[in-house]
A and B are shown apart, each in its own frame.
Chain A
Amino acid sequence: MGSRPAQQFADPFHVIAPTGYAVMQAQVAQGTATAAAPLLTVRDVSVVFGGITALNGVSFDMQKGQVLALIGPNGAGKTTLFNCLSRLYQPSAGDILMDGVSILTRPPHRISEIGIGRTFQNVALFPNLSVLDNARVGAHSHTNSDIISDSLRLPRSRSVEVAINKKVLRILDYLELTHLAHTNVAGLPFGTQKRVELARALATDPTILLLDEPAGGLNHEEVYVLGDLVKRIRDERHITVLLVEHHMGMVMKIADHIVVLNFGRKLAEGTPKQIQNDPEVLKAYLGDTAK
């Protein structure tokens, strides 16, 4: 760590100044923070694995319409928090509220129906299914069918299928995946697989979209495009985004609000500007040598 070039110490986040629009959005989001009730509340959440405390009393609020970035060094507990929101992990303490109601009584498969959709850090697609079928599974939670009408292809089952296809084809189109609809996902390039995962998550009709390192493994241009896409998803589809990302350029550009985790604790919280100038955050990212 100590042998990094000095240049990087001066600018650890490769900061791109927030655009006027993003600043405005952030102000809007902050304005509502005091007025409206938060969409999502994480309250004193702790998670312990054996001896490791992966999360230690983490609290923050997320407002409707925000892009909230969750950042922090490797092992800080970001994915662990996502897995709590998906109910894959049970917090040992604390609560998570959506619209004021605890989600911790729900089984994992009943999370997407209240509007929490997600992607995974290492891409968790269904490798033997086509792009189209992957996205169709995303539409599972807000449709209904039974094995009898599905086996006999009764009108009930057919109309469900029509509705699913209509929604999903539109999403594939939105993400420019239409030409790959019938391709198996296993052989697709990593960047495309990430887009398929995004399509699948959008097909769940999320109110809140959890993106775990969407820029991981993407090249420069792809990251740039992705940043725009995330903002478009927020603005055009009115989806609130919780973003975990190491790519600071992208975070500073699109986030309205940032929560910083370090060793399972919340280190800081604020606007991109505040975070960039927070001495605690700089220290966590650069180690003690930054003093």
Chain B
Amino acid sequence: MSTVQETFATTKSPSTELPAGKSNALGRNLSLLILLVMLVVPLFVRNFVIFQITMVLIYGIAVLALNILTGGSGQFSLGQSAFYALGAYTSGILMEHLGVNYALTLPVAGMVCFAAGFLFGFPALRLSGIYLALATFALAVAMPQLLKLGIFEHWTGGVQGLVVTKPDAPFDLPISQDAWLYYFTLAVTLVIYITSIFLLKSRSGRAMMAIRDNEIAASAMGVDVSLYKTLAFGISAGITGIAGGLGAIAVQFVAPDSYTIQLAIALFLGMVVGGVGWLPGSFAGAAFIVFVPNLAEEISKGLSGAFFGVLLLVVIYLVPHGAKQVATFAESLIDKLRKT
């Protein structure tokens, strides 16, 4: 019972102590500039780089989903890889077994994962903080094994997994498969990014953030804490599922061991590096988890893991609030320059 009194007295966990900032989005001009750069980038880089940037967007969506859960509603998850896998397999199975168009598999993957996340959210309601992290961890560990089970083998391809066909550009557009997939992913990313920002700036989003900041006060204001916590889980899982589906299409392959706990940890890292609760940071975080391991590998093949760890520590030490902090700093710098 004494938790009630503690909640009155203390403000919450460190993850929610964001540096002061007015919004969880970028300014309009900067957003448009970034969009413009994103639109022309494929014209100037090799196909492999286009593929890498596509993966940044896909992981960015998954990190954003985690950000809605943790930054938005204050719940932790180390199990996002499970929802990512579920989305990937949903898309893969629909495309390869049932011949469904790749674009149409994404909403289905999203809905399947929303349902799964919402249902998982119910037992998760009884857990908080580190216990919730442990429960989601268990989910992430169990998922690859479930996918290998013999009874699903006809659909999942068992240990071998499924090969997914890469889509061609429609309307005979004169662009490579990689470039087309990039633009397709960019469009999906935009829709998810904008709707997520709308959500967080709405009555529902405020209810979630209120829960994150103070559950008891939120419920005294009429916020149904259980409902919004499970909804946050559902939304987060649904968006992660869409990322998983996109990932399956981009990588052209789904297999149980692509979706281990390592993926979940990578997404968690991406969120921390990008800044918890700041949606644009999700993509900076995703860039970190896509490119920095390569960088570490270039420094030393044998010790790439160690170098990755060192780089991560440096980032966390220098900018504990991640990309959000860098952006806030840059903003104030520009303000100063304008004034002088």
Contact = CB atoms under 8 A, between A and B. Distances in A.
Interface of A: 49, 83, 86, 88-89, 107-113, 118, 120-122, 124-130, 133, 136-138, 140-143, 145-147, 150-153, 157, 160-161, 164, 182, 184, 186-187, 200, 204
A288 B222 CA distance: 44
B41 interface: no
Contact of A137 (B11, B16, B210): B210
A250 B9 CA distance: 25
A109 B224 contact: yes
17 contacts: A88-B216, A118-B220, A121-B8, A124-B7, A126-B209, A127-B213, A127-B214, A128-B277, A129-B213, A130-B22, A133-B206, A137-B207, A137-B218, A140-B203, A140-B222, A150-B202, A184-B20
A126 B219 contact: no
Interface string B1-40: 1001001110110001110101000000000000000000
Given A124-B217, A133-B209, A140-B221, 9 more contacts: A88-B4, A109-B222, A124-B220, A138-B221, A150-B202, A151-B195, A153-B198, A153-B202, A161-B202
A140 B211 CA distance: 12
Given A49-B1, A109-B225, A124-B216, A150 B209 contact: no
Contacts of A157: 202-203
A242 B210 CA distance: 25
A137 B212 CA distance: 13
Nearest to A136: B206
B224 to A, nearest CB: 5
Sort A-B residue pairs by CB-CB distance and give the 10 closest, nearest first: A141-B222, A150-B202, A126-B213, A124-B217, A112-B222, A151-B195, A151-B199, A109-B219, A150-B204, A108-B219
Q: Which of B4, B202, B216, B225 has the most CB of A within 10 A?
A: B202
Per DSSP, chain B at the interface is helix
A140 B219 contact: no
A14 to B, nearest CB: 27
Contact of B222 (A89, A113, A186): A113
Nearest to A108: B219
A182 to B, nearest CB: 6
A112 B198 contact: no
A110 B8 contact: no
Contact of B11 (A120, A127, A133, A141): A127
Nearest to A137: B210
B322 interface: no
Contact of B195 (A89, A129, A145, A152): A152
A143 B219 contact: no
A180 to B, nearest CB: 13
B323 interface: no
A108 B225 CA distance: 10
A118 B257 CA distance: 52
A120 B8 CA distance: 8
B222 A152 contact: no
Interface in B64-89: none
Contacts of A113: 222
A82 B161 CA distance: 58
Nearest to B224: A109
Contacts of B199: 147, 150-151
Contacts of B205: 150
Interface string B179-221: 0000000000000000110110011111101101110111111
Contacts of B219: 108-109
Contact of B223 (A109, A122, A151): A109
B231 interface: yes
B162 interface: no
B250 interface: no
Contacts of B221: 112, 137-138, 140-141, 200, 204
A146 to B, nearest CB: 7
Nearest to B220: A86
Contacts of A150: 198-199, 202-205
Contact of B206 (A107, A112, A129): A129
Nearest to B7: A124
B8 A187 contact: no
A160 B204 CA distance: 11
Contacts of B209: 126, 128-129, 133
A151 B235 CA distance: 11
Contacts of A136: 203, 206
A145 B201 CA distance: 13
Contacts of A184: 20
Contacts of B225: 109
Contacts of A112: 220-222
Contacts of B210: 126, 129, 137, 140
Given A109-B219, A184-B20, A164 B8 contact: no
B204 A182 contact: no
Given A124-B8, A126-B210, A151 B198 contact: yes
B11 A186 contact: yes
A161 B203 CA distance: 7
A128 B18 contact: yes
B74 to A, nearest CB: 10
Nearest to B232: A147
A108 B220 CA distance: 6
A147 B16 contact: no
A86 to B, nearest CB: 5
A37 to B, nearest CB: 26
A143 B222 CA distance: 10
